[in-house]
Structure 1
Amino acid sequence: MTTALIADDEPLLRERLRSHLARLWPELEIAAEARNGREAVELFDLHQPEVVFLDVHMPGQNGIDAARSIARRAQIVFVTAYEQYAVQAFEHGAVDYLVKPFDEDRLADTVTRLRERLARSARGDNGGLDAVIDQLSQELRLRAGSRGWLQWIKASVGSSVRLIPVEQVAYLRADEKYTLVVWEGGEALIRKTIRELADELDPERFAQVHRSVIVNLHQVAQVNRGPNETAEIQLKGRNVLLPVSRSFVHVFRQM
């Protein structure tokens, strides 16, 4: 029986992919599911699946970094919300990709290609995967901005537009279709998602600690351990506690 690993930080998308695969490829066994790149690599080493579905954008270690670690040891399918990422390289057959929201017909094509590669014993020959990973990494860097990490956040405050220096930001929190920016001068809502901001902010200063929260590490006073491998962050000079989910506790293990 062929085994697979699904890695995506969104539970509903993992469930949807698993459900479609159960209909299209009944012989496939889902050996494990991961919520981020680091967990994907750990579970891959534990279960050694033949196929890995990797979300490109995941908190902490993203899908590209995880793919570098897995490399030639499995057939990799990238899952992304951005079709422009290395589409030409994908079409050359090095690996396959799914664009969110994917449909069952597109997944059926992927399943067919995976079966053909496994039948040819292609495992062990990555067919140009290294080049695809390099191209994806370059695309991610370009998306973050050709001038480097985000330096300013543009926000509407009352009737004016405010340029907020990122070093003044204490934390960012998802608020439906918006993101709440909390900084030294107050609060504001911006039309940019947490996922987009996670790609644009310097990881040496900012860390995603929950699917809905990014925190400025320079603003952290202490981290309080909680139940079930969770935690809470206490910020300097602020009477607010921010949640740290299980998927992100590793951010503070080395601090």
Structure 2
Amino acid sequence: MTTRPTALIAEDEPLLAAALQAELTTHWPALQVAATVGDGASALAQALALQPTLCFLDIRMPGMSGLEAAQALAEDWPDGVPFPLIVFVTAYDQYALQAFEAQAVDYLLKPVDGDRLAACVARLQARLAERQAAAATVTPAAELARSVEQLRGLLAVAGSAPATAAPRLDVVTAQVGATVHLVPVDEVIYFEAADKYVRVVTAEREHLIRTPLKDLLPQLDPQRFWQVHRGTVVQARCVRSARREESGKVTLTLAGRPETLTASRLYAHLFKGM
């Protein structure tokens, strides 16, 4: 018996979300829309809870973007469950479209055109048919690895978009009450997002700052500071060993700290033997 495919729609404009759902009903009557949400964090939570067959993710949403939500899904997706096919929905942006096409990622332009959606649906149905035919030989882990490879390539291309170079950060200023602590960046072992703060961890102590991790990243030397998770950036010279787990993630031990860090599937490739 074939399981009815399900979809999650993440779109912050209710009229566009309703229009996409209506078009999907026309072009794919068997598809059940399991949930419609309006922001990236809700998309992540609902996708993990409902485990849909497909996710339609708007690129620009409040808080977490569609690309960030896809990244988080790849990091948090449970083992042994087929990873959803992802379609990005975006306003016209030539650079973004080139990035999607380079990684063979499905995308739709807003407002969604019926003919374009019909072509997208045909590709998605073909992909699902391939999955079903290969179910005996292709594991959910292999499907997830394929999706991770696409997302990794997409993140790399998106990260190379032309932008004004940010000045390199030499010192982190962390305020506690009336006192401001100046922490040399070279002493930082890792940065970790924590609620509305970022933990700045050195060998001796920890500090909290309010600057978001995504704003810190452009100010750090990428040769020295490696992002290993959407919420963690580690100084590479402080990593003493990396152990690959069956899930595809990597456990990192650190110089100067007793705790370990986890590198997600998206960043595990950074820790391959030479």
**Normalised by the size of structure 1, how large is the TM-score?**
0.52
Cα distance, 1:246 vs structure 2: 1.7
Structure 1 residue aligned with 2:233 = 214
Aligned residue runs from structure 1 range 153-232, under 5 A? 153-157=172-176, 159-232=178-251
Structure 1 residue aligned with 2:111 = 110
Cα distance, 1:221 vs structure 2: 0.6
SS in 2 for 1:227: coil
Structure 2 residue aligned with 1:17 = 10
Structure 2 residue aligned with 1:137 = 161
Whichever residue aligns with residue 137 of structure 1, its letter is A
Q: Deviations over 1:184-236 (max 9, x none)?
A: 45211000222222333221111121222111111101111223111211001
Aligned residue runs from structure 1 range 9-48, under 5 A? 15-17=8-10, 20=17, 23-26=21-24, 27=27, 35-36=70-71
Q: Deviations over 1:127-158 (max 9, x none)?
A: xxxxxx99x8233xx2x52x3x3332221145
Distance 2:266 2:105 in 1: 24
Q: Specify whether residues 113 and 208 from structure 1 end up closer, same or farther in structure 2 by C-alpha distance, changes over 3 A only.
A: farther
Distance 1:75 1:31 in 2: 11
Distance 2:269 2:88 in 1: 22
Q: Specify whether residues 16 and 71 from structure 1 end up closer, same or farther in structure 2 by C-alpha distance, changes over 3 A only.
A: same
Q: Specify whether residues 65 and 205 from structure 1 end up closer, same or farther in structure 2 by C-alpha distance, changes over 3 A only.
A: farther
Whichever residue aligns with residue 23 of structure 1, its letter is Q
Structure 2 residue aligned with 1:8 = none
SS in 2 for 1:150: coil
Listed as ranges, the gaps of 5+ residues in structure 2 are: 1-6, 12-16, 32-52, 57-66, 75-84, 120-156
Q: Specify whether residues 227 and 72 from structure 1 end up closer, same or farther in structure 2 by C-alpha distance, changes over 3 A only.
A: closer
Contact 1:172 1:215 in 2 (8 A): yes
Listed as ranges, the gaps of 5+ residues in structure 1 are: 1-13, 40-48, 56-63, 78-95, 97-108, 119-132
Distance 1:189 1:235 in 2: 20
Contact 2:8 2:55 in 1 (8 A): no
Contact 2:191 2:201 in 1 (8 A): yes
Whichever residue aligns with residue 110 of structure 1, its letter is P
- Is 2:269 the counterpart of 1:250? yes
Distance 1:242 1:202 in 2: 20
Q: Specify whether residues 202 and 115 from structure 1 end up closer, same or farther in structure 2 by C-alpha distance, changes over 3 A only.
A: same
Q: Deviations over 1:86-106 (max 9, x none)?
A: xxxxxxxxxx6xxxxxxxxxx
Q: Specify whether residues 164 and 66 from structure 1 end up closer, same or farther in structure 2 by C-alpha distance, changes over 3 A only.
A: farther
Cα distance, 1:182 vs structure 2: 0.5
Residues 189-198 or 150-159, more deviating: 150-159
SS in 2 for 1:243: strand
Distance 2:98 2:183 in 1: 35
**Normalised by the size of structure 2, how large is the TM-score?**
0.49
